[in-house]
Structure 1
Amino acid sequence: MTDQSLSPHAAPALSASGLNKTFTVRENSLGKPARHVHAVSDFSFDLPAGSTLGIVGESGCGKSTTARLLMHLVEPDSGQIRLSGRPVSTTKRDLKAFRRQVQMVFQDSSASLNPRLTIEHSITFAPRVHGVASKEAREIAWRLLDRVGLDPARFAGRYPHELSGGQRQRVNIARALALNPKVVIFDEAVSALDKSVEAQVLNLLNELKAEFGLSYIFISHDLNVVRYISDHVLVMYLGQVVEQGPVGQIYAAPRHPYTRALLASVPSADPDQRTMAAPITGDPPSPIDLPPGCRFAPRCGFAESICNTMPYELRHGETRVRCHIADPKSGHSKAEALQ
């Protein structure tokens, strides 16, 4: 962890406030108006320098769209992204500088690499685009390959199809570090790996974070992986943040019913702690036709009429939660149930 991360007044390495993104869906039938998919709604967070923020939620909750918004691969409809406290401009020049400091590792390790480029050329490509001399870029590539556990003499001249999935993901990590970034975003970066390789990559990420003074955003559907690697966790449901806070606090005492359901669904190795009933039932509502008020209400066992109004985000110490039950003044009959 860097010295900056220890300062309570240090600006977050990366932050966002009020990000919104909708996608237009045009109907095939004549005369019907266009409809809108609400992919991300009022998304806000702070990533303290030197820490890891885990983002969890069901498939389709908006995690990957959020990652692309943060990288400006998709432009938000509204909201603000800040890097080290400074607003990120969308001009071509400023985005080039931003992407030098914020890199991303994608889920599909094979599709992320150009099959026509050798591993060395894949890693040196970005530094050369940013003005690094070819000789220096090659030295960077070889040094990083060695650091992620791949012998450069053996792997630098190979092509992606000649590597295993774990080796390709190590190459992607090395490529992300080639520009010496401040922040790295991992979008399901270990989900396609078997468990032994996954553990090796996670340990490598922790070592690299400490060595290079990095900050991570780690997106995953695997709650155990997020608990292992993260300092803070953010829970998403239907494009909206429903709870966020220190990982130990969220896992030990979740306040939102959706967070409780997610954690209850994690398989236990203890035969006496078997899950006998589904913690959550039904499918999420369509992001086109969202329910009024709380988006989780149609699947929530605590739902009441007050839940037809949108709950606002409440702060409880270091955690934040968006739920009427978490607010003793909301009028919900079970407002103390999760206290």
Structure 2
Amino acid sequence: MDAALPIADRGGPAQPLLLAKDLRKHFPVGGGLLGRGRKVVRAVDDLSLSVAKGETLGVVGESGCGKSTVARLLIRLIRPDKGTMVLDGDPVDEPHGISVSELRRQVQMVFQDSYASLNPRLTIGETLAFSPRAHGVSAAESRARALDLLAKVGLDPESYAERYPHELSGGQRQRVNIARALALRPRLVILDEAVSALDKSVEAQVLNMLVDLKGEFGLTYVFISHDLNVVQYLSDRVLVMYLGKIVELGPVEAIYGNPLHPYTHALLSARPSMDPRKRTREAPIQGDPPNPIDPPSGCRFRTRCPFAEDVCAAREPLLAETSAQSVACHMRQPGSGHSKAEAA
């Protein structure tokens, strides 16, 4: 297959671009004689998600909830302990599916640290041309593509192509990283806290640029961020994670307008307000997240939830669909046994 040609849309618009089912990743920690009885950090626990073609899926949650681990699993920077992935109908890394190399040609990632993501010994032009060259594109075409991408991300090719990463500001380096992610003409771009290190004026420019690039190149985004306002601006759907699991998932209007899970409600309540009459007087969430090595039984949020009851400790709530979104909470599941749940 010619690497210069865009990948065809094989499954049609109704087929998800990326489908992940029951992904699990546990990281072992020290302890135990000869490795026996060794404990694990439950970074991601049996997580399933789908990403529709052309959408932006926002992923939010506190630090340590597993957002970045999910990103690395989706691009196979780390291998899952369990679970499957399908890219536009093709299984990933299976005997009759596509290879990880082909996955990474169609799925690219932009990281938070703009400087560590670039080779300090390569010029910006060389950096952008490297991936196309490695995938069989001619030197002339790779160079032309690099210069064109610099222009697309708002950097003058004549001024920036021969510069080195240390000669650029943080915002300019992140624009280069975004351009590099587009060099192979991917279909899906995963942005892991890609704007969190930028000041607000530069962040706004980069966000608007991402919107323009999405329309121009027909991209799909998975946008990971702790900034709820940025996620609201950019996303079509929002996935809320807590301690390695999805607790709520739905359209951005439903999640922000009517959050159903207590954790989602607490996250939104913690957003700063410019109105002094709406000043937060007490912390929306009490306490620290539990240890992911030994998470609570049942609902993992119950140790910090003001509505927790016995059923929350006894059984783990499943992610179930409601009228607008899916939520994993016993209060929202009829007949669950919670005092606030409706009768079955």
Matching residue within 76, 86, 94 for 1:82: 86
1:118-139 C-alpha deviation (Å, 9 max, x unpaired):
1011111110110001110000
Paired residue secondary structure (2:273): coil
1:294 paired to 2:291: no
Distance in 2 separating the partners of 1:176 and 1:155: 17
- Structure 2 residue matching 1:186: 3-state secondary structure: strand
- DSSP 3-state at the match of 2:190: strand
Please report how far the alpha carbon of residue 17 of structure 1 lies from its aligned counterpart in structure 2 after TM superposition.
1.1
Task: State the alpha-carbon separation in 2 of the partners of residues 335 and 162 from structure 1.
Answer: 58
8 Å CA contact 1:26–1:33 kept in 2: the answer is no
Alignment of 1:235-274 (within 5 A): 235-274=240-279
Q: Deviations over 1:235-267 (max 9, x none)?
A: 000010000000011100000000000000000
Report whether the alignment pairs 1:166 with 2:167.
no
Within 5 A, what are the aligned runs for 1:35-50? 35-50=39-54
Counterparts of 1:279 and 1:272, CA distance in 2:
17
Unmatched 5+ residue regions in structure 1? none
Unpaired runs of 5+ residues, structure 2, are 1-7
TM norm structure 1: 0.94
Q: Given the alignment of the two structures, is residue 317 of structure 1 paired with residue 323 of structure 2, yes or no?
A: yes
Please list the CA deviations of residues 151-178 of structure 1 after superposition, one character each: whole Å capped at 9, or x if unmatched.
0101001100000000000000000000
Q: Tell me, in whole angstroms, the C-alpha distance in 2 between the residues paired with 1:210 and 1:174.
A: 15
Residue 142 of structure 1 aligns to a residue whose secondary structure is: helix
Task: Output the amino acid matched with 2:338.
Answer: H
2:323 corresponds to which letter in structure 1? G
Secondary structure at 2:119 match in 1: coil
SS of 2:99's equivalent in the other structure is: helix
Distance (Å, rounded) in 1 between the aligned partners of 2:35 and 2:272: 49
Aligned residues: 332
Partner of 1:303: 308
Matches within 5 A, 1:217-232: 217-232=222-237
| Letter in structure 2 aligned against 1:285 | P
Q: Which residue of 1 aligns with 2:18?
A: 14
Pick which of 172-181 and 269-278 moved more. 269-278
Give the drift of 1:277.
1.3
Q: Does 1:68 align with 2:44?
A: no
Q: Do residues 103 (structure 1) and 111 (structure 2) align?
A: no
- Give 1:315's aligned amino acid: E
**Alignment-derived partner of residue 221 in structure 2:** 216
CA distance in structure 2 between the aligned counterparts of 1:322 and 1:305, rounded to whole angstroms: 16
TM-score (norm 2): 0.93
Q: Which amino acid aligns with 2:202?
A: V
C-alpha separation in 2, matches of 1:62 and 1:18:
14
**Distance in 1 separating the partners of 2:84 and 2:280:** 41
2:92–2:98 Cα contact (<8 Å) kept: no
Q: Percent identity?
A: 61
Runs of 4+ with >6 A deviation: 28-32
CA RMSD of aligned residues (A): 1.9
Give matches, 1:83-162, under 5 Å: 83-89=87-93, 94-162=99-167
